Each structure stands twice: as C-alpha cells, then as structure tokens.
C-alpha cells in the first residue's frame, strides 16, 4: 500500500513560501519542524504509518474544522485546544492546506515581538492559489 504524502508535500511547499520560515529535522524521532521567529508553527510526522501535518489553530476555528472535516482531528502530541492534525483525505483540498498552514504561521507571527515579525499578521495576504 502506498502512503499518501500529498498533504505533507503541499504543506511543506506552502511553508517554504512564507517569509522567515525555517525548516529543520528534529534530532529525536521522525519529525520535521517549521518555525518562524524561533517558534513552531508546523510539524510533520507519521502516526502509525499515516503521514500527518500538525498546525496551530485558533480554538474556535479548530473546533469548526474538526466538525467539518473527517481528515482533521485534535493536535497529535500537542495541546488539543490550540493545535490540529491534518491527514490526507477527500475533504482536504490544496487550497485548504495552504490556508491552514498560512493561518498557523500568522498565529505564531502575531505572538512574536513586533520588531521580530517578518510580516504584519494583520495585513499579510496570500495570493490566490494556482490550483
């Protein structure tokens, strides 16, 4: 059985486009980590053989996303209120992946000291996706 890594690949591509985004492989375990200003905004790993993307989310948005998408669940190994886990699934389209990665990034940027922010989270806009 082939493992579907399309969601991880799409999320990594979007994260790489974001100003100040830094990518590293965690030295312990099989985790890929994306940070901005030294703070994590995205993680990727596999939970029993299933590739997942773990993102920060506003708690009210996280509840709505989990209710609307079978492929989105509480954050794996993270605070279940503030993080979500996204898997590949028919209900996860490329534009949703791009949006959730960007929103996670902006939530973290908003918590950084103003002089450390690579963008203004209130005015940063994503160009429409080509997909």
Dump pLDDT digits (tens) for 100-116.
999 999 999 999 999 99
Domains, the chain, ranges and CATH?
A: 5-110 (3.90.1150.30)
* pLDDT exceeds 70 at position 1: no
The tens digit of pLDDT for each residue in 61-101 reads 999 999 999 999 998 878 778 999 999 888 889 999 999 99
Predicted local distance difference test score (pLDDT) of residue 129: 52
Contacts of 79 (CB under 8 A, 6+ apart): none
Sort 28 into a burial class: Cβ within 10 Å, 0-12 / 13-18 / 19+.
exposed
- Tell me the C-alpha distance between 42 and 45, whole Å: 10
Considering only residues 31 and 128, tell me which one the structure prediction assigns the higher pLDDT: 31
Query: What is the value of pTM for the model shown?
Result: 0.90
């Amino acid at each position: 059985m082939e493992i579907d890594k399309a969601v991880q690949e799409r999320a990594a591509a979007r994260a790489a486009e974001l100003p100040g985004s830094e990518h590293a492989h965690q030295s312990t375990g099989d985790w890929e980590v994306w940070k901005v200003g030294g703070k994590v905004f995205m993680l990727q790993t596999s939970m029993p053989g299933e590739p997942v993307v773990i993102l920060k989310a506003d708690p009210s948005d996280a509840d709505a996303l989990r209710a609307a998408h079978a492929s989105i669940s509480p954050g794996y190994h993270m605070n279940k209120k503030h993080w979500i886990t996204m898997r590949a699934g028919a209900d996860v389209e490329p534009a949703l992946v791009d949006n959730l990665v960007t929103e996670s990034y902006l939530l973290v940027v908003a918590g950084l000291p103003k002089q450390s922010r690579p963008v203004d989270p209130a005015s940063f806009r994503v160009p429409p996706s080509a997909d």
